[in-house]
């Protein structure tokens, strides 16, 4: 997370993530919570990548909450 903190210190304030990147959203939430007011966090949703070999995409509300 040192690189993340350096990015914020350097003025980067837009962080883009996705469930497709696996654990990135959880890591950012865990390690950057104390600096949450300093950046905009964007994510993509609507995909279910949990079932190997079966990718679902849609507007199902269950895909929005994890």
Closest CA to 29 of 43, 48, 10: 43
The helix or strand, by DSSP H or E, that contains position 42, with its residue range, turns out to be strand 40-44
Closest CA to 15 of 43, 50, 35, 37: 43
> What's the pLDDT tens digit per position in 14-51?
988 876 677 787 888 888 889 999 999 887 766 666 66
Of the two residues 9 and 1, the one the predictor is more confident about is 9
Q: Which domain holds residue 29?
A: 2-56
Question: 16: which DSSP letter?
Answer: E
Cβ–Cβ under 8 Å, residues 39 and 11 = no
Asked whether residue 63 is assigned to any structural domain, the reply reads: no
pLDDT for res 43:
77
Domain count along the chain: 1
Q: Does the model's pTM come out above 0.85?
A: no
Cβ–Cβ under 8 Å, residues 55 and 49 = yes
Asked whether residue 18 is assigned to any structural domain, the reply reads: yes
């Amino acid at each position: 997370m040192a690189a993340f903190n350096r990015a914020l210190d350097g003025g980067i304030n837009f962080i883009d993530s996705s469930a497709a990147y696996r654990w990135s959203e959880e890591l950012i939430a865990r390690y950057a919570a104390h600096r949450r007011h300093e950046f905009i966090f964007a994510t993509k949703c609507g995909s279910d990548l949990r079932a190997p070999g079966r990718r679902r995409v849609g507007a199902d509300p269950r895909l929005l909450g994890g």
